[in-house]
Structure 1
Amino acid sequence: MGLLFLALQIRSIFSDQLKQEYSGLVLEGIERAESARNLVRVWQRQADNSIARPGQPEQSDDYRRARIDLAGRLTSLAALVNASPSAAPPIPRSALSPDTNLDDTDALLAVQSVYWRAQRTNDSADARTRIARVASTLIVLSACVFGALVTALGMYAKRARQLAGESHKFEHAALHDAMTGLPNRRKLFATLAETATGSSGNPTLLKIAVIYIDLDGFKQVNDSLGHDVGDEFLIAVSKRFRKTVRLVDVVARFGGDEFVVLVREFSTNAELEAIAQRLIDCVLQTDEQMGIGFVRASIGIASFPHPVRDYHQLVAAADETMYQVKRNGKNGYAFATRVG
């Protein structure tokens, strides 16, 4: 109820302010009309003091222009006054003619000025009264709201901590493979871009590489031994992949039985060869441990900035090279030679 009362009072305050502004516009119009009327007086006195000459018009052109300007000012004023939502004294159409009696114009402007000045004063007083009521209500409500606010802030802080934890879980789930726990392709590409460009967004001077791994014969595992065994193999080989590379490097599950290792810095191809051989050994060890006997690995290696000049093409180049290994007998590795 207090908030409803405040809303109504604030609305009334805005209404009073609008009324004050409207009264101000009308009073400005009255002042402009009075200025035009004073100019007419000046030209009228000059005409009365001049000695009429044969053939000279009784009214000068300046006087006629002043009367026309006065009529225009009165017309603008009448548009404001007659459109007012309040019961303001109307301005009749007869008062807008350039030939209207000037005494009647003086009386009209005097009436309008008195009314609208009083109207603005009353609206201002109403606004001040309502502002005082709003201030008193706010003081009372603040005492009631303060306790509830403190409680709400405590609940909000607790909920915010819960949401932060849930948000972190959701973000982790969106960027990692649910079965193996490895980063997924989305996380891989984000890390690749960050590594290749650095914080400045420009290509770095580091040599980086992508090692693309495909498990040869894995489809046969699923077909002959079942998907549960296949999933167990993927989980086991993922753990071995993660242990055999450096902590700074990224092992990602690209999809199905395909994995990608992002080597975030290296010096020579010999280092990449050693990593590739260890990855092949990981697959062989997992195969032997589970007693399968036919799962091996084909690996393609692509490095940046040479020979692949565009880091966006690293994964595609490594993938293409991996298929070349498959076509040449599988269970091995090769380096990409094309320039991107």
Structure 2
Amino acid sequence: MPHPVSERNIPVRDDDAISTRALRWTDGARAHIQRLRVPGPAPLAGVALLCLLIGLLFLAFQVRAIFSAQLQQEYIGLVLEAVERADTARASALALRDASTSDTAHRAAYRDARIEFAARLASLHALIISSPAPAPALPSSVLLPAADLKAASAALDSAYLYWRAERERASADVRERIVSVSHTLIALSSIVFGVLITALGMYAKRNRQLVGLSSEFEHASLHDAMTGLPNRRKLFAALEETAEHLGDGTNAKRIAVLYIDLDGFKRVNDTHGHRIGDEFLIAVSRRFRQTVRNSDVVARIGGDEFAVLVREFSSDLELAAIAQRIITCVAETDGRMDLSLVRASIGIASYPDRVTDYWRLVAAADDTMYAVKRNGKNGYAFASPAA
């Protein structure tokens, strides 16, 4: 602490000594001030440029962070969508478990609901472990249909709470960074206007690139890479969309699935090599697309198995004609490539006359196709009404 000042602490000076000391201090201060020159335009411009560069670097860092946060938000959105789908499957399982009915159909429905719930949890688990940032995965013990439903529900609830918190955190981070960017823009508005236009152009270009990449990724996830046909996921999406617009009463439409297996295709790969086998699949896929109507969906399920979703038909004769054309396509393609090995077995299932649940159309057609293979192959058959 400063000591208190009293008259005893102040030395006694005469006027001449004080004047001499003051004069010396004034001369020294004047000489020092003269050595400090006022900066000219070039240094000021350099300082302004340095401030601009610092501001631009800060803005670039923040914009990049916002892009990363936006991508993170999109990923979190995908995870939360998977959680919602799993929650829907869980609700179905819980409703069937708590129902009082105990007949065989109810038990089968409950078993199917548990299998669907386990499949949704497995999809959610696969999405979580692919996260670019470390995230708690679902316990492997809850990914099986036989897992404890209470434990699986607790794991799903925990995942929902975690990813919802992550979404809120990411949103708060985006908002905070946007506020920082706005403050910086206000401070540098006089010199950053032109650069801001460029940054907005870059932002729009980046968004277009992201949209293009998203479209490419979506197309790749829904189509077979070799043949270009829709895959199983796309087939089921088209099946669900078609079933939702069938109508009721006398105006109700019927839909059908033709499940196709190429008999003898394995011998093509074994005898002529996989290159010839791939060429055959590509050629027959092209013929399939040309054979069916534009409104119908031809999908490659995997390997040498295909499926055709007929969005509307009038009679079984129409389905039989489609099946016969497909068999002919396979035989003609085999003949053009001089293989004499490949034919087709086709199972046909229709909704709602033969199959009462459209989700089982593909499975029913698949089972019927195997019945055709057991009965001699190279033909088609319709699923029984009990399928």
TM-score (norm 2): 0.51
| Residue 314 (structure 1) aligned with residue 361 (structure 2) | yes
| Residue 191 (structure 1) aligned with residue 217 (structure 2) | no
Of residues 277, 283, 307, the one that matches 1:230 is 277
Letter of the 2:360 partner, please give it.
Q
Structure 2 vs 1, CA of residues 254 and 140 (structure 1 numbering), >3 Å: closer, same or farther?
closer
Of residues 209, 213, 222, the one that matches 1:162 is 209
SS of equivalent to 2:287: helix
Kept in 1, the 8 Å contact 2:353–2:385? The answer is no
Structure 2 vs 1, CA of residues 267 and 199 (structure 1 numbering), >3 Å: closer, same or farther?
closer
Letter of the 2:374 partner, please give it.
R
Equivalents in 2 of 1:295, 1:139: separation in Å? 72
Deviation at 1:170, TM superposition (A): 1.4
| Residue 297 (structure 1) aligned with residue 353 (structure 2) | no
Deviation at 1:137, TM superposition (A): 9.0
Counterparts of 1:41-56 in structure 2, within 5 Å, are: none
Equivalents in 1 of 2:184, 2:309: separation in Å? 64
Structure with larger RCO (C-alpha < 8 A, sep 6+) = 1
State the match for 2:90 in structure 1: none
Deviation string, structure 1 residues 231-281 (Cα, Å, up to 9, x no partner): 010000000000000000000000000000000011111100000000000
State the match for 2:6 in structure 1: none
Kept in 2, the 8 Å contact 1:196–1:206? The answer is no
SS of equivalent to 2:369: helix
Kept in 2, the 8 Å contact 1:211–1:262? The answer is yes
Deviation string, structure 1 residues 191-233 (Cα, Å, up to 9, x no partner): 1011111399xxx932000000000000111111110111010
State the match for 1:29 in structure 2: none
Equivalents in 1 of 2:186, 2:227: separation in Å? 59
| Residue 248 (structure 1) aligned with residue 248 (structure 2) | no
State the match for 1:179 in structure 2: 226
Deviation at 1:140, TM superposition (A): 4.5
Kept in 1, the 8 Å contact 2:264–2:341? The answer is yes
Equivalents in 2 of 1:164, 1:324: separation in Å? 45
State the match for 1:288 in structure 2: 335
Deviation string, structure 1 residues 122-176 (Cα, Å, up to 9, x no partner): xxxxxxxxxxxxxx99755222332222110011112222222222111111110
Counterparts of 1:1-340 in structure 2, within 5 Å, are: 140-198=187-245, 205-339=252-386
Structure 2 vs 1, CA of residues 244 and 145 (structure 1 numbering), >3 Å: closer, same or farther?
same
Deviation string, structure 1 residues 286-339 (Cα, Å, up to 9, x no partner): 000000012100000000011101000000000000000001100000000143
Structure 2 vs 1, CA of residues 298 and 313 (structure 1 numbering), >3 Å: closer, same or farther?
same
Kept in 2, the 8 Å contact 1:298–1:333? The answer is yes
SS of equivalent to 1:210: strand
Equivalents in 2 of 1:145, 1:199: separation in Å? 58
Deviation string, structure 1 residues 8-62 (Cα, Å, up to 9, x no partner): xxxxxxxxxxxxxxxxxxxxxxxxxxxxxxxxxxxxxxxxxxxxxxxxxxxxxxx
SS of equivalent to 2:347: strand
SS of equivalent to 1:231: helix
**Segment of structure 1 superposing worse, 243-252 or 151-160:** 151-160
Equivalents in 1 of 2:205, 2:362: separation in Å? 43
Equivalents in 2 of 1:144, 1:334: separation in Å? 76
SS of equivalent to 1:322: helix
Letter of the 1:176 partner, please give it.
H
Letter of the 1:276 partner, please give it.
A
Letter of the 1:147 partner, please give it.
G
SS of equivalent to 2:354: coil
Structure 2 vs 1, CA of residues 138 and 251 (structure 1 numbering), >3 Å: closer, same or farther?
closer
